[in-house]
Amino acid sequence: MNRIVAIHLLNDYSGSPKVLMQLLKTWTGKNIEAHLFTSGGSKGFLSDLPKVTRHLIWYRFSQNPLIRICNFFISQLFLMIKLLVFLRRDDTIYINTVLPFGAAVSGKLRGCRIIYHIHETSVKPEIFKNFLFGIARLTASKGVFVSDYLMKKEPLVKNQVLLYNVLEREFAEKADRSYTIRGKEPIVLMICSLKSYKGVDEFVKLAEINRTYIFKLVLNASQQEIDAYFKGKILPDHLKLYPTQIDTHSFYREASIIVNLSRPDEWVETFGLTILEGMRYRLPAIVPPVGGITELVNENKNGFLINSADVYELSGKIHYLMCNEDVYKSFSESAYQKSLEFSEAYFEETCVRMLSI
C-alpha cells in the first residue's frame, strides 16, 4: 500500500476530526504509511496521533466573516503550494470535509488518487458551497459519505461509499463498564458547537419552560466565547453551561435524555455522533425530522423526530419520557441496541476495503 495523505482544515474536538482520527488509527494499525496535514495552534482529536507524520498548515479562524474567508483562501493557497512539493503520483489524498480544496487541486495536478470524505451539506453561502462541491466533483476519484441521506443529496462521482460514523471501541467499552441506573435527578443533555443554528437558543428556551429538570449544554467553545455569546442574557439556574470537554463520559452517564436541536432550515445534520454516543449510554434521543440523523432515531421507539422550532412539542415529549418509567426503559434499551449496529469492527473493515476499490 502506498502513502495516504490526509487533509483536515481545523483541528478541534468536533465530529469530523474525530472520524479522521479513527481512520488514521485504523490505517496505521494496518502498517499503512500515513501523513496528516492540519492546522496547528490548538489541541484537538488530530493532535499527537501515534505513527502518523503530522504537517502543520496555516489557518486562523476569525469571528469576522470577511477576515475568516480571506484567511481560508490564503490557507488553501499555502496548502496547495506545500502539497505540490510534497506529493508523489502514487499517493492517495484523503480530504476530510469539502473545505480543503487546495489539496484537491494539488492532487489533481500531481495525478494522485483523491478521496473525499463528505460530512456536510449545509455550507453557507450557496455560492461558496457550489464552489467547494464543484471542485470536489471535478477532482474526486471516490466519495465517502457519513449517511445514506447525504450520499443521495450530494453525489460526487459514480464510485461512492457509505461509511457511517461509529463509536471507538474504547468509548463503547468504557460506556458499558461505567453505565449505571440513573438516579432521581432528571437531566436533559445537549453537546454541540456554539452556533445559533445548532439550536443553542432553543435549548435555553426549553430550559426556561421546564424548571423541574436540569439542562446541561456542553459547547465546543472556550469559556470566553460562551460568556460573549450569552452576555446580557438572564439564564435559568437549572441550565448549566460547559466549555469544550475532552472527556464527555460523565455527562452521558448522568443524563436522562440526549437532544439535538439543530434548525433544519439552517443546518441539516448529516449524522449525529453525540446522539450515537448518548445511545450507547442508553439515552432516548430527540432530534430533527430531516437529515442523516434520522437514520439513528426510530420514531416512538428509541426517540422522537421533532423540529426544534416547536419547543412546546419538545417539552411534551421530554415530560412524557421522564414521567413514564416503562416507556423510558423501553426507549432506553432500544437506544442501546441501535448503538450496537455502529461498531468499530464494521468501520475498520470498510475503511480498509475502500482504499483498494
Which pLDDT score is estimated for 183?
63
pLDDT at 62 over 90: no
Region 323-330: mean pLDDT is 95
Which pLDDT score is estimated for 115?
97
Which pLDDT score is estimated for 65?
87
CA 243 to chain centre: 17
What domains lie within the chain, and their CATH numbers? 4-166+343-355 (3.40.50.2000), 169-341 (3.40.50.2000)
Which pLDDT score is estimated for 124?
87
Q: Which of 36-45, 234-243, 311-320 has the lowest mean pLDDT?
A: 36-45
Angle at 6 between CA 114 and CA 74, to 5 degrees: 90
Which pLDDT score is estimated for 173?
94
271: helix, coil or strand? coil
What is the reported pTM? 0.85
Higher pLDDT, 26 or 178: 26
Question: pLDDT-derived band of residue 1, with 50, 70 and 90 as boundaries?
Answer: low
Q: Which of 41-45, 187-191, 249-253 has the lowest mean pLDDT?
A: 41-45
Angstrom distance (rounded) from CA 306 to CA 260: 10
Angstrom distance (rounded) from CA 291 to CA 153: 10
Using only the alpha carbons of the chain, give its radius of gyration: 21
Q: Please state, rounded to an integer, the average pLDDT across all residues of the chain.
A: 94
Q: In 10 A of CB 107, how many CB atoms?
A: 28
Which pLDDT score is estimated for 356?
78
Question: pLDDT-derived band of residue 43, with 50, 70 and 90 as boundaries?
Answer: confident
**What CA–CA distances, in Å, run from 75 to 37, 83, 212, 233, 256?**
12, 12, 48, 36, 42
Which pLDDT score is estimated for 314?
97
Region 329-335: mean pLDDT is 97
- For 180, counting Cβ atoms within 10 Å of its Cβ (0-12 exposed, 13-18 middle, 19+ buried), the class is exposed
Q: 39: Cβ–Cβ under 8 A, 6 or more apart, which residues? A: 9, 10, 11, 56, 57, 58, 59, 75
261-276 per-position pLDDT tens digit = 999 999 999 999 999 9
Q: 332: Cβ–Cβ under 8 A, 6 or more apart, which residues? A: 282, 283, 284
Question: pLDDT-derived band of residue 204, with 50, 70 and 90 as boundaries?
Answer: very high
Angstrom distance (rounded) from CA 267 to CA 262: 6
pLDDT at 179 over 80: no
Region 204-222: mean pLDDT is 96
112-152 per-position pLDDT tens digit = 999 999 999 988 899 999 999 999 999 999 999 999 999 99
Phi, psi dihedral angles at 109 (to 5 degrees): -65, -30
